[in-house]
């Protein structure tokens, strides 16, 4: 049985008039998708209709339109859907995720705003985050990076220090148990070393990327589409569950306009114990009297940096959204 067949609800449709088959979306670029069939082969696929609401990691039903093209007719129920959004549009990142890997580096300096937003997004969906600090062999800014990350370590977020170029064997040994048997998405700014991590974990990854890029007709723009890779079977399959690594394009912004106020306040783990201490049941934790969160800030138990992020996200969530 192929690795794909194990993970798909394999095979043809069972209804009398159902000519569709199960497939896994392994790449997405606009309304263009590449799906992997139960036998491991790939098809270029399009959604039926104008709306494009499928994501990499989705299990879908596909009907053949030609030898190498298909039409996505349905999306199976999801465990979750990770996306980012601004005031004008929402962008799907990946579906059915177990872990969000946030890749940072000592150089160039990483965006703490993007880190905080990625953590909030993971918390809102109850997805486990893993923070990676790469390029620890570049020591000039290492102490500064560690100082900035201490806040998040103190909140209980796992931080892994790696030097993919300097100590690849150590990095691989640390990553294997954290990625085996789960579906992870890697996110981060450009220049943090995501490509190096991919090459370390998946031998021959560049050839795979070229093949999918050709299927998507995206030419040289291989960094502009989200892609799912199978991690090597010899170590990444756990109890029959394959390990997937989803690579999303590097981005500088991580808008969370789609999160409601209630979702936001619970996505900050240090806020949760304080929410019952507020005097008013509809407290916004901005400037209300008797606010448990504001009291915790005064007591030094909650960081002002984290509260500033919360107030910015709350402001964004109140913007009118056309989508």
Degrees, nearest 5: CA angle 105-169-165: 40
Annotated binding site: 134-137, 188-196, 278, 283, 285, 291
**Is-contact 210 220, C-beta < 8 A?**
no
Q: What is the CATH number of domain 81-247?
A: 3.40.50.300
pLDDT at position 316 over 80: yes
Q: Give mean pLDDT, residues 260-285.
A: 96
Average pLDDT, integer, range 147-170 = 97
Quick check: 281 pLDDT over 80? Answer: yes
Question: What percent of the chain is predicted at pLDDT more than 90?
Answer: 72
Residue 1 pLDDT > 60, yes or no? no
128: CB partners within 8 A, 6+ apart: 98, 99, 100, 122
Sequence-distant (≥ 6) Cβ neighbours of residue 305 within 8 angstroms? 112, 116, 151
Pick the residue with more confidence: 112 or 209?
Answer: 112
pLDDT at 176 over 80: yes
Q: Which residues are annotated as a binding site for GTP?
A: 134-137, 188-196
Mean pLDDT computed over every residue of the chain: 89
Q: In whole angstroms, what is the distance from residue 13 CA to residue 78 CA?
A: 19
The average pLDDT across 188-210 equals 86
Cβ(26)–Cβ(35) below 8 Å? yes
For residue 276, the SS3 value is helix
Give the separation between CA 88 and CA 210, rounded to whole angstroms. Answer: 32
Sequence spans of domains, the chain? 20-75, 81-247, 261-319
What pLDDT, on the 0 to 100 scale, is given for residue 250?
A: 74
Helix (H, G, I), strand (E, B) or coil at 290: coil
For the whole model, what pTM was predicted?
0.90
pLDDT band at 322 (very low <50, low <70, confident <90, very high): low
pLDDT at residue 213 is higher than 80: no
What is the per-residue pLDDT for 50? 76
Mean pLDDT of 182-200: 93
Dihedral sign from CA coordinates of 142, 143, 147, 148 = negative
> CA torsion sign, 313 to 317 to 320 to 321?
positive
The confidence score (pLDDT) of residue 15 equals 46
Mean pLDDT, to the nearest integer, of 259-274?
A: 96
Q: At what angle do helices 112-124 and 142-154 cross, to 10 degrees?
A: 30
For residue 85, the number of C-alpha atoms closer than 13 Å in the C-beta half-sphere is 23
Lowest mean per-residue pLDDT among 23-32, 109-118, 212-221: 212-221
Closest CA relative to residue 198, chosen from 247, 238, 159: 247
pLDDT at 262 over 70: yes
Confidence band, pLDDT 50/70/90 cuts, at residue 218: low
**Binding site membership for Zn(2+): which residues?**
278, 283, 285, 291
3-state secondary structure of 187: strand
Cα distances (angstroms) measured from residue 275 to each of 204, 266, 307: 49, 9, 14
- CA–CA dist 119, 127 (Å, integer): 9
> 237-250: b or e for each residue (b if 16 or more CB lie within 10 Å)?
beeeebbbbbbbbb
Higher pLDDT, 51 or 229: 229
Between 223 and 114, name the one with better pLDDT. 114
Mean pLDDT (whole number) for 53-58: 95
| pLDDT mean over 159-179 | 97
Confidence (pLDDT) at 231: 96
pLDDT above 60 (res 17):
no
Beta partners for residue 32, in sequence order: 29
Q: What pLDDT was estimated at residue 119?
A: 97
pLDDT at residue 206, rounded to an integer: 74
CATH fit for domain 20-75, picks 3.40.50.720, 2.40.50.140, 3.40.50.970, 3.40.50.10440: 2.40.50.140
Residue found under tokens 């953590």: 119
CATH class, range 261-319:
mainly alpha
Contact 113, 253 (CB under 8 A): no
At 300 the three-state DSSP class reads coil
């Amino acid at each position: 049985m192929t690795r794909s067949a194990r993970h798909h609800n394999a095979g043809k449709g069972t209804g009398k008039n159902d000519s569709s088959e199960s497939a896994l979306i392994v790449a997405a670029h606009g309304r263009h998708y590449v799906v992997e069939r139960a036998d491991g082969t790939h098809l270029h696929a399009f959604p039926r209709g104008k709306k494009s609401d499928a994501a990499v990691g989705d299990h879908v039903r596909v009907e053949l339109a030609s030898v190498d093209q298909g039409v996505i007719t349905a999306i199976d129920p999801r465990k979750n859907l990770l996306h980012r959004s601004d005031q004008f549009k929402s962008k799907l990142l990946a579906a059915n995720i177990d872990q969000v890997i946030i890749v940072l580096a000592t150089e160039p300096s990483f965006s703490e705003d993007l880190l905080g937003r990625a953590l909030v997004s993971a918390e809102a969906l109850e997805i486990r985050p893993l923070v990676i600090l790469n390029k620890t062999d570049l020591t000039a800014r290492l102490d500064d990076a560690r100082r900035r990350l201490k806040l998040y370590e103190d909140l209980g977020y796992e931080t892994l220090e790696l030097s993919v170029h300097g100590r690849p064997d150590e990095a691989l040994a640390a990553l294997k148990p954290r990625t085996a048997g789960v579906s992870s998405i890697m996110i981060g700014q450009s220049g943090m070393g995501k490509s190096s991590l991919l090459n370390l974990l998946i031998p021959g990854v560049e050839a795979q990327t070229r093949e999918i890029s050709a299927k998507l007709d995206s030419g040289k723009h291989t960094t502009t589409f989200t892609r799912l890779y199978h991690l090597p079977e010899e170590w990444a399959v756990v109890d029959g569950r394959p390990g997937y690594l989803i690579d999303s394009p590097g981005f500088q912004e991580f808008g969370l306009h789609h999160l409601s106020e209630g979702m936001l306040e619970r996505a900050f783990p240090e806020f949760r114990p304080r929410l019952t201490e507020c005097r008013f049941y509809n407290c916004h934790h901005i400037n209300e009297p008797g606010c448990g969160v504001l009291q915790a800030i005064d007591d030094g138990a909650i960081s002002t940096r984290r509260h500033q992020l919360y107030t910015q996200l709350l402001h964004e969530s109140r913007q009118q959204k056309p989508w």
